[in-house]
Amino acid sequence: MNVDWKTRPFDALTLHDLHDLLRLRVDVFVVEQQCAYAEIDGHDPQALHILGRSDQGTLIAYARILPPDEHGLPHIGRVIVSAQHRGHGLAQTLMTIALEAVHRGYGSRRSALAAQAHLEKFYGRFGFVRQGPDYPWDGIPHVDMLREET
């Protein structure tokens, strides 16, 4: 599958990009996962956005990277592949691109994420390690994970 990948700060997003990324996030996290939560959380303006579009221009994969927190760790989040495009390796490509963007932007691949607990093994393949017990976040079990520079 051919995917056009773009990495953009918030101010470089087009109105179409913003519409498409919010729609994909709501379609997956709110509708598909049946989780009512505040999707527009105020962090997008500070984030770096990774967008993967199909040959037809449809946004099919997305992630965002928040700037380093008080511990100096950028945070990768909102990692999504649309339901109809899963199973083709796009999530692996998306995470590889996200880690490269972290490295380019912050000089290291050291980063953190809050994973849905059932995806712990997936993120483990990229060097992320569990940092504590599962906890509920908006009704879905999550686990904090950390990736040290390797």
Give domain limits for the chain: 4-147
pLDDT of residue 71: 85
pLDDT of residue 29: 80
Q: DSSP for 80-117? A: EE-GGGTTSSHHHHHHHHHHHHHHHHHSS--EEEEEEG
**% residues pLDDT > 70 (the chain):** 96
Retrieve residue 63's tokens. Answer: 């992630």
**Per-residue pLDDT tens over the stretch 107-147:** 998 999 999 999 999 999 999 999 999 998 777 899 999 99
Tell me which of 86 and 30 has the higher pLDDT: 86
Retrieve residue 34's tokens. Answer: 């049946």
pLDDT of residue 94: 97
Q: What is the mean pLDDT of the chain?
A: 92
For the ranges 37-46, 78-87, 115-124, the lowest mean pLDDT is seen at 37-46
- Rounded to two decimals, the pTM is 0.92
pLDDT of residue 146: 96
Retrieve residue 148's tokens. Answer: 């040290």
pLDDT of residue 37: 66
pLDDT above 90: residue 3: yes
Q: Is residue 83 within 8 Å of 40, Cβ to Cβ?
A: no
Dist. CA 7–CA 48, nearest whole Å? 7
pLDDT of residue 14: 97
- What is the rounded average pLDDT of the residues 54-68? 96
Tell me which of 66 and 28 has the higher pLDDT: 66
For the ranges 23-32, 77-86, 99-108, the lowest mean pLDDT is seen at 23-32
Quick one: fold of 4-147? Aminopeptidase (3.40.630)
